[in-house]
Amino acid sequence: MMRSLFSAVSGMRNHQTLMDVVGNNIANVNTVAFKSARVNFQDLISQTVRGASAPSNNLGGSNPVQVGLGVQLGSIDLLMAQGNLQATGRTTDMAIQGDGWFVLSDGASTPTISFTRDGNFDLAVPSTPGGDRALVHTTSGLQVLGYTSGVPVTADSNTPPQPITIPQTQNGVAVTGFNIAPNGVISLVLADGTSVSNFAQIALAKFPNDGGLERAGSNLFKPTVNSGQAVYNGAAANGRGEVKAGFLEMSNVDLATQFTNMIIAQRGFQSNSRVITATDEILQDLVNIKR
């Protein structure tokens, strides 16, 4: 009799986890480049009441008799589907159309590398007047990494690239702006009407298993032993997506799916609570046999 109580408790606990994940997905419905998650359950160990028996010449065999002992959390998976692209009109905003991750660094002597699909970038204030302006991730302040030589880059590498900086002058001429091609190549626009081609290139990283990445907050992800090592290259190279300047990738949360999962979580929780109520009533009847 007690087994049903503990099975129902495990069901309520894990359906609460499902509701937590659904709530987080809905909360981030308008978060730039947010990747939704899903919950998978798996059964707990089953108690074997009677084992299986083999068939004989005269009788057939019998299957094992087992009673399940509840449910447990199997996994919480990241859904890496592409989000819709939204036009912003800002040159420094970028979205990835396809596979790949922007590469960010904290600029330390031994840098910590982070990855994001959030292309909400901007130019930082120069450390010295008239100095170069670093391209940074506005949410975290981390530097955007890329290539400044041999552009465009087409060969994969396991070595992280370097921070990208935009100069205020080039060969004595003021830099008035820049353009970003689909392959991530940055071209400078000068005040005299000329341009500097192949000045730098945005780097993108790929992983053997994107689902193995770990959320780190601020729209950042960290690699894990199950994601594999990052492989770096320029955008639109070796299976990487194109960089779309002036766009941001929006959340891939599907509200219709989330509301459906909310109903499933609520009804699952209610059903398990009814099991507890019914088991309690049976125990009460058992106690009342002797009065």
289 contacts: CB under 8 Å, gap ≥ 6? none
Residue 57 within any structural domain of the chain: no
pLDDT at 289: 86
pLDDT in tens, 18-70: 999 999 999 999 999 999 999 999 999 899 999 999 998 888 999 999 999 99
Residue 56 lies in a domain: no
Residue 286 clears pLDDT 90, i.e. is over it: no
The token pair at 253 is 């949360």
Query: Which of 185, 99, 82, 93 lies closest to 139 in space, CA to CA?
Result: 93
263, HSE (Cβ side, Cα atoms, 13 Å): 5
- 95 and 190 part of one domain: yes
pLDDT tens sequence across 75-133: 999 999 999 999 999 999 999 999 999 999 999 989 999 999 999 999 999 988 889 99
Same domain, 89 and 233: yes
Residue 100 and residue 241 share a domain? yes
State the chain's mean pLDDT as an integer.
94
Q: How many domains does the chain have?
A: 2
pLDDT recorded at residue 1? 60
Q: Which of 63, 72, 9 is nearest to 45 (CA)?
A: 72
Q: Is 58 domain-assigned? A: no
What is the pTM assigned to this prediction? 0.90
**Quick one: 75 and 10 in the same domain?**
yes
Region of 98 please: left (phi>0), alpha (psi -120 to 50) or beta. left
Report how far residue 68's alpha carbon sits from residue 58's, in angstroms, rounded to the nearest whole number.
31
Task: Note the pLDDT of residue 206.
Answer: 97
The answer on 149 and 202 residing in a single domain is: yes
Q: How many CB atoms lie within 10 A of CB 76?
A: 13
User: 195 and 240 share a domain?
Assistant: yes
Per-residue pLDDT, 291: 66
Residue 20, domain extent:
2-49+64-80+253-287
44 & 101 share domain: no
Tell me which H or E stretch contains 23: helix 2-27
C-alpha 243/C-alpha 3 separation (Å) is 56
How far is the C-alpha of 194 from the C-alpha of 172, rounded, in Å? 13
Quick check: 166 and 174 in contact, CB under 8 A? no
In a domain, 55, yes or no: no
Q: What are the pLDDT digits (tens) for 176-192?
A: 999 999 999 999 999 99
In the predicted structure, residue 249 carries a pLDDT above the cut 70: yes
